[in-house]
Chain A
Amino acid sequence: MTAIPLGVPRRLVEFTIDGQEARVPEGSTILDACRAAGKDVPTLCEGDTLRPKNACRVCVVEVEGSRTLVPACSRKAEPGMEVRTGTERARHSRKIVLELLASSVDLSTTAQVAGWIKEYKAKPDRFGPDAARLGEEPKVDNELYVRDYDKCILCYKCVDACGDQWQNTFAISVAGRGFDARIAVEHDAPLTDSACVYCGNCIEVCPTGALSFKSEFDMRAAGTWDETKQTETTTVCAYCGVGCNLTLHVQDNEIVKVTSPHDNPVTHGNLCIKGRFGYQHVQNRD
């Protein structure tokens, strides 16, 4: 029989969201409570397997008594808190954040963002044709994955996944400052000269497609990438005895990408280079 970990019993925190009573276990964030209450709060830098970084500020909500808006993803619910998610003030900041991002970053492969831009009536064009953009070229320096930092919103998720939260490889960091800040390895060297172990756990958490499998990048460039034609099959990695789950994304009978379920209690979506990229032998038909 599988033992189900119950954890330490947690007290419930009572507060209100948009006037409605909410009760969540102590330690939950406002975002957890919003989601439990079925309220939609947009998020970009929040990751289900990572500690919240609250860098994007698209999840801001209004909390009674707080001078500024607060990030729902990282602020813990407190008893008696009065949270309002849909006020004009909160919606204004979300709209501006979307405009600022969309006017400087290529969001074409960021899930859901097009819908939010429409919902919040954001107009990224209004900063004019000369508005500064990141202006980065894709870095194709290895056979496994591509870093297209023109699509990077600097959510820090890849850095956290590579660093102390998961992989402990510390191959990448944020370098530079302000608008010139970029994700980079030391001395901005090619990946092949860095500490990267090609586990691809950064790709797993990237919300914008800035990090992608070389196979996906090439197919997008060729115009053949078509998610509607893809199937996803979750299986067990055959390389070692850990038994990580792999989700194989298959298009036209070829594996085009490998992900891993984030709710796996052992690996939380993380893999190693073999599970992530070592699938060529499966489709070797000679």
Chain B
Amino acid sequence: MDLHFGDSKPTDDERAAVDALLGPPESSWEGAARDEMRAADLRWARGGRAARDRRDLLLPGLHAINDRIGWISEGALDYLCRRLTVPPAEAYGVATFYAMFSVKPRPATVLHVCTDLACATAGASELCAGIEARLGLGSGVSVERSPCLGLCERAPAALAIKAGDPVRTAVSAPATVHGAVLAASAPDAAPQEPPAAMAVPQAGDPSLTLLRRVGVVDPASLDDYRAHGGYTALRRAFELGPAGVIREVTDSGLVGRGGAAFPTGRKWQATASQPDHPHYLVCNADESEPGTFKDRVIMEGDPYALVEAMTIAAYATGAHKGYLYLRGEYPRALRRLEHAIAQARARGLLGDDVLGQGYAFDIEIRRGAGAYICGEETALFNSIEGYRGEPRSKPPFPVEKGLFGKPTVENNVETLVNVLPVLTMGAPAYAAIGTAKSTGPKLFCVSGSVARPGIYELPFGATLGELLELAGVRERLRAVLLGGAAGGFVRPEETDIPLTFEGTREAGTTLGSGVVMAFDDTVPLPRLLLRIAEFFRDESCGQCVPCRVGTVRQEEALHRIVDRTGAAAADDIALLREVGRAMRDASICGLGQTAWNAVESAIDRLGAYE
């Protein structure tokens, strides 16, 4: 590799931002000024594996620049590339992949205003217009319309990010024009977010399992966590040994909660038995499915639970390094987890000798930067490795060749925290919760037209009607979206659908990640479908043709028929069906394969254009 750099130089701030992450440059090859260095250093360069192995620092490096300056200039990108021995063209490809980065100058403050489903029904478009009128050119704030920010229980939502040292963030939700403008112009002075427990209407209910500690423990206190049963599951894991843990998890019937419902025990067993080493654990906390916010609430309200659960998963699968890939739009979850991991490390619950058991494990947080596709497991690996977040083709599967080409177990946040009750209760007691095929408790993200939106914990098998009643569904319900943008709509009277993987499948819909979004008739259904189509068009990575162009054609057709019904829409609906079928059949990954689900269900189940 013969790297070529342009003449652009980084500013002092940009250089400082990169050096704060990577340390000062070790030689002039890495971008140190020649006069600063001893002559001997000029002949020294990191090469071969030592240079290539730092590629995964590219994304953190881009974050460092973007956090400090607000955008990524040519000089800054070149400097980062020099430091990491990355070709500038590839780094440019990575930087332009993520929605939260800009390679063009922009104001230091970016206000992300959510215009996705839950926020749209809560008046996001008027909010946006109001904010844009107040924060025009020259205001020092760039207003960007954003996909779901994962704050659906407090819709409409806005997130302000003010670049600097350190970067400042503020959330305004439920947002008013005044509140959002205040958050953007003075993030430090903006009112604090309500505690995470506010998103849990059942908080404090002793019958809860997964949400038991949310609102009860101090999320910053490890002692409080331990006083409430924390780290008993890890002790139990050490008693059982890795094979015993996997047996318990397999017997519990736990399946992945991210949407694909793959048996967790089988995944762990498959990874643990791989001869290739090292093994990696990846926690997928890139929760970006519109309407999903359960992982955020767990991470904000009970962060040590995730740290403990990751430790158990890694112990069982023979991993000594865990990556927590956290959505870039979750600043509070980031702070809480950083604190929790540091505390756990200081107290010997992470590190070279976890709990004095001679087992080494540590967790590194990696932030996403605004890409729904990075929730796809193999796209997430590419993102961590410093490449564009494009899905890989499977096989080979992650258990065989995952992160850095090594056997990797990847689990969603909710899946992992379920491991704690599996171990503390024992597999039989856990499996007794829920139904025979869907065991355990499940978190549901209820938002939209309900009196008490938030995260609800119910045993699998509760019906849609029971959940909606719990959340206080409002009058004039028009439709319910299950599973988010990649899920499907059901009719308001289909309240007896059992909320299990098999029950929703039988009803011809999906549980997905547990999104239950209720819509009344204030926002016309075709507008919602158009927003879903826009979402997929924006979030398609562009790798395969069916999704890259298909999502564009889908949006165009939905745009044409947004005010049409019956025969006037029939041709475009036929076109949508044909394109949708090819997207489902021929796309590389789940994004393209599900991009037509919600639209199809709205047409067939709800008669959206009749």
Chain A residues engaging chain B, CB cutoff 8 angstroms: 54-58, 60, 68-69, 71, 74, 76, 89, 92-93, 95-97, 100-101, 103-104, 126-128, 130-132, 153-154, 156, 163, 168-181, 184-189, 193-195
Q: Specify the chain B residue showing the minimal Cβ separation from A172.
A: B89
Instruction: List the 9 shortest-distance A-B pairs measured between CB atoms, nearest first.
Output: A173-B93, A170-B87, A195-B4, A96-B582, A181-B542, A186-B88, A100-B549, A93-B586, A178-B540
Q: Which of B4, B92, B550 contacts A96 (CB 8 A)?
A: B550
Known pairs A54-B393, A178-B537, A195-B4; A187 contacts B92 (CB<8 A) = yes
B 1-45 to A, binary, CB cutoff 8 A, 1 in contact else 0? 111101000000000000000000000000000000000000000
Q: Which of B1, B97, B578, B586 contacts A170 (CB 8 A)?
A: B1
Q: Among the listed stretches B179-187, B266-274, B518-526, B551-559, which one makes contact with chain A, having 4 or more residues with CB under 8 Å of it? A: B551-559
Whether A92 and B89, one on each chain, are in contact in the complex, defined by CB atoms closer than 8 angstroms, is: no
Whether B582 and A195, one on each chain, are in contact in the complex, defined by CB atoms closer than 8 angstroms, is: no
Whether A57 and B586, one on each chain, are in contact in the complex, defined by CB atoms closer than 8 angstroms, is: yes
Q: Specify the chain A residue showing the minimal Cβ separation from B93.
A: A173
**Residue B145 at the A interface, CB < 8 A?**
no
Known pairs A189-B6, A195-B4; A55 contacts B93 (CB<8 A) = no
Which of A153, A172, A181, A185 has most B Cβ within 10 Å?
Answer: A181
Bound complex: CA A186 to CA B92 (Å): 5
In the bound complex, residues from chain B placing their C-beta under 8 Å from that of A193 are: 6
Closest-CB distance, B96 to chain A (whole angstroms): 4
Closest-CB distance, B391 to chain A (whole angstroms): 11
Q: Which of A126, A153, A184 contacts B575 (CB 8 A)?
A: A126
In the bound complex, residues from chain A placing their C-beta under 8 Å from that of B175 are: none
Chain B residues engaging chain A, CB cutoff 8 angstroms: 1-4, 6, 74, 77-78, 87-93, 96-97, 99, 103, 371, 388, 393, 395, 537-546, 548-553, 556-557, 560, 575, 578-579, 581-582, 584-588, 593
Bound complex: CA A272 to CA B64 (Å): 38
Whether A178 and B551, one on each chain, are in contact in the complex, defined by CB atoms closer than 8 angstroms, is: yes
Whether B553 and A187, one on each chain, are in contact in the complex, defined by CB atoms closer than 8 angstroms, is: no
Whether B551 and A132, one on each chain, are in contact in the complex, defined by CB atoms closer than 8 angstroms, is: no
List 12 interface pairs A-B (beta carbons < 8 Å), by A numbering.
Answer: A57-B544, A57-B588, A95-B582, A128-B560, A171-B4, A175-B96, A178-B537, A179-B552, A181-B548, A184-B89, A187-B6, A194-B89
Given contacts A186-B89, A195-B2, 8 further A-B contacts (CB under 8 A): A55-B588, A57-B545, A103-B549, A127-B557, A170-B3, A177-B97, A181-B541, A186-B77
Whether B542 and A92, one on each chain, are in contact in the complex, defined by CB atoms closer than 8 angstroms, is: no
Whether A195 and B3, one on each chain, are in contact in the complex, defined by CB atoms closer than 8 angstroms, is: yes
In the bound complex, residues from chain B placing their C-beta under 8 Å from that of A171 are: 4, 87, 89
Bound complex: CA A53 to CA B259 (Å): 27
Closest-CB distance, A91 to chain B (whole angstroms): 11
Closest-CB distance, B288 to chain A (whole angstroms): 14
In the bound complex, residues from chain A placing their C-beta under 8 Å from that of B93 are: 173-175, 184
Bound complex: CA A117 to CA B575 (Å): 18
In the bound complex, residues from chain B placing their C-beta under 8 Å from that of A101 are: 545, 549
Closest-CB distance, A39 to chain B (whole angstroms): 19
Closest-CB distance, B397 to chain A (whole angstroms): 13
Whether A57 and B549, one on each chain, are in contact in the complex, defined by CB atoms closer than 8 angstroms, is: no
Q: Which of B89, B96, B99 contacts A185 (CB 8 A)?
A: B89
Closest-CB distance, B385 to chain A (whole angstroms): 13
In the bound complex, residues from chain B placing their C-beta under 8 Å from that of A174 are: 93, 388, 542
Q: Specify the chain A residue showing the minimal Cβ separation from B542.
A: A181
Bound complex: CA A76 to CA B551 (Å): 29
Q: Specify the chain A residue showing the minimal Cβ separation from B99.
A: A177
Bound complex: CA A193 to CA B78 (Å): 13
In the bound complex, residues from chain A placing their C-beta under 8 Å from that of B89 are: 170-173, 184-186, 194-195
In the bound complex, residues from chain A placing their C-beta under 8 Å from that of B540 are: 177-179
In the bound complex, residues from chain A placing their C-beta under 8 Å from that of B543 are: 55, 154, 156
Whether A175 and B542, one on each chain, are in contact in the complex, defined by CB atoms closer than 8 angstroms, is: no
List the count of A-B residue pairs having beta carbons below 8 Å apart. Answer: 168
Whether A187 and B74, one on each chain, are in contact in the complex, defined by CB atoms closer than 8 angstroms, is: yes
Known pairs A54-B393, A54-B588, A57-B586; A96 contacts B546 (CB<8 A) = yes
Known pairs A57-B586, A97-B586, A195-B3; A173 contacts B90 (CB<8 A) = yes
Whether B103 and A57, one on each chain, are in contact in the complex, defined by CB atoms closer than 8 angstroms, is: no
Q: Specify the chain A residue showing the minimal Cβ separation from B543.
A: A55
Q: Specify the chain A residue showing the minimal Cβ separation from B92.
A: A186
Whether B546 and A57, one on each chain, are in contact in the complex, defined by CB atoms closer than 8 angstroms, is: yes
Bound complex: CA A54 to CA B544 (Å): 8
Closest-CB distance, A256 to chain B (whole angstroms): 29
Q: Which of A74, A132, A163 contacts B556 (CB 8 A)?
A: A132
In the bound complex, residues from chain B placing their C-beta under 8 Å from that of A184 are: 89, 92-93
In the bound complex, residues from chain A placing their C-beta under 8 Å from that of B560 are: 128
Which of A69, A89, A175 has most B Cβ within 10 Å?
Answer: A175
Whether B546 and A179, one on each chain, are in contact in the complex, defined by CB atoms closer than 8 angstroms, is: no
Bound complex: CA A176 to CA B593 (Å): 21
Bound complex: CA A55 to CA B579 (Å): 17
Whether B90 and A100, one on each chain, are in contact in the complex, defined by CB atoms closer than 8 angstroms, is: no
Whether A187 and B103, one on each chain, are in contact in the complex, defined by CB atoms closer than 8 angstroms, is: yes
Closest-CB distance, B73 to chain A (whole angstroms): 9
Q: Specify the chain B residue showing the minimal Cβ separation from A127.
A: B553
Q: Which of A71, A92, A188 contacts B581 (CB 8 A)?
A: A92
In the bound complex, residues from chain B placing their C-beta under 8 Å from that of A103 are: 549, 553
Bound complex: CA A162 to CA B593 (Å): 31
In the bound complex, residues from chain A placing their C-beta under 8 Å from that of B87 are: 170-171, 173, 186, 195
Bound complex: CA A193 to CA B8 (Å): 12
Whether B92 and A92, one on each chain, are in contact in the complex, defined by CB atoms closer than 8 angstroms, is: no
Closest-CB distance, A5 to chain B (whole angstroms): 27
Whether A127 and B575, one on each chain, are in contact in the complex, defined by CB atoms closer than 8 angstroms, is: yes
Bound complex: CA A54 to CA B543 (Å): 9
Known pairs A103-B549, A174-B93; A179 contacts B584 (CB<8 A) = no
Q: Specify the chain B residue showing the minimal Cβ separation from A101.
A: B545
In the bound complex, residues from chain A placing their C-beta under 8 Å from that of B546 are: 57, 93, 96-97, 100
Which of B3, B88, B540 has most A Cβ within 10 Å?
Answer: B88
In the bound complex, residues from chain B placing their C-beta under 8 Å from that of A76 are: 395
In the bound complex, residues from chain A placing their C-beta under 8 Å from that of B579 are: 96, 100
Bound complex: CA A195 to CA B557 (Å): 41
Which of A74, A93, A163, A188 has most B Cβ within 10 Å?
Answer: A93
Closest-CB distance, A22 to chain B (whole angstroms): 19
